[in-house]
Structure 1
Amino acid sequence: MAEVTDYYLLLGVTETASPEAIKRAYRSVARDSHPDRNPHDPSAEERFKLVQLAYQVLSDPRRRTQYDLVRTFSLDGELGPYAMGHKPFDPADSQDPLTSLFFGDPRGTPNPSERGADVEAQVRLTFDQALRGGTTEVRMSGGEPVRLTVPKGVRSGLKVRVKGHGRLGAGGERGDLYVTFRVDPVARFRREGDHLHVVETVSALEAILGTTRSITNAYGQTMKVHIPPGTQPGERLRLRGQGVETATRRGDLFVEVEVTVPRGLTDEQRQSLAECACKSGLM
């Protein structure tokens, strides 16, 4: 008699596992056994398909009930022609009998409702590419190029779905492609949501007396920024609408003031500053 695969063992759950536990286990096992993560393992694709089959059976209450009965008979060595009202399994058939029991003979007509697996991919973008958006390409494992639209102002970690570009299923329907964007950081700007942060350095005297700086935003536009007298170290100035621009809004640019204290003053310079501070009541 052909061997019946233990789907509970395959997913690493018990016979009494809840649907939620089965779903969590499936996600973990499917991720680890995905062919894209095991490119040098020739058996990875078959194992991945078997993991999908196990989840399809155990996540469906009706199929799970049928499977439990068949599995019980199999473990007892009593699986016979009466099981589930189905025909006997051919002992010479090397296929898992559960495949034909739940999904039809894999050598026969494919199930038209069986959809192909989804595929995950990552696309790296420069900071400037992410700001401006545009188009890029993802090359699939089979060499097929898929053209993508990069949303203007896309954030690192955003995932988009491209329908119909996953793996081809037995019924002829493809799964979907899920693409995660990864944006390379830059030294000058720090991004938080759609807001940008930049550090501007001024001297202690400039912070005391106030000054003006020319600030260039991430899009190359330059503007004058007034740093008021008495600005404290770490104080932030907000430039509205000068952050990241998306299709629906534009964030702000925050200028964080960093104050430096001059070193190496001459005795004459220190004396002049001290006299000025005394006259002004600052010390």
Structure 2
Amino acid sequence: MKTHIRSGFWVLIALLVCLSLSVYSVSAVTGRPKNVQVALRAKWSGTPILLEAGELLSKEWKDLFWEFIEVWLHNANEEIDSYTAKGCLKKIVKYGQSLLPETLASVFEFSLTLRSASPRLVLYRQLAEESLSSFPLTDDINSNIITGEVSESNENIESKKTKPLPVGLNLQSPGGKCCWVDTGGALFLDVTELQLWLRSPNESAGDMFQQPELFDFDHVHFDSSIAGPVAILYGALGMDCFREFHVTLVEAAKEVHYLTLRDILSCITLTIMIRIK
């Protein structure tokens, strides 16, 4: 009898020791810091963080979108880590945070890493593609005339205009321009041409049914008036041609309706709208 009790006692001791070791092992594992890596996959190529930052700020307050553009352009010549990717991101975060209250500024960089504005940039890119497809491919037509070749039939040109552009491929306007203005009835590839149009936009506005379609998500410039012809600028913050067009439209916005700006890739694409009084 004593032998059975003694053997049972030692079995109990052995079980307690095993249990203690198991608990220690589990606590040791759970106590270790864990690194979490997250990868996001989308059906489109990556979109610029700079453009995403503007969209993200506009979700907090619509005018922050325009303020961010002005801050970026004003400090465009600032040296920042020799223009490295890390330095550029640091600059984006710095200027974005400068426009936000402290409580939001602290999470701005983290919000950028979520890439929540990327789908909207892809949508804007599709609108830019539609803008280009609304006009004849003047480069191809002029080239055929200069070289003496027979111009393509309207059917072939229409086929080229409506053929979808693969997502992720850069848009290219006639002449290889990275920025252009769409008024619904005309496409301006040069700032000088735009300035001529701005002198008498109502005379060349034409049929109001030609006006570009506007959307609820379009950005409205705070100096805009309400009525008048619309002009949409496609370009991208960070590009020289965007600065030229943007400055021209901001000056015109005091007399016209500088209505919206849509960010996307063309050589990337940002769109700005104006309405003339």
TM-score by length of 1: 0.22
Select the structure that is richer in helix: 2
Select the structure that is richer in strand: 1
Larger radius of gyration: 1
TM-score by length of 2: 0.22
Flag the structure with more relative contact order, 1 or 2, with Cα contacts below 8 A and sequence separation at least 6: 2
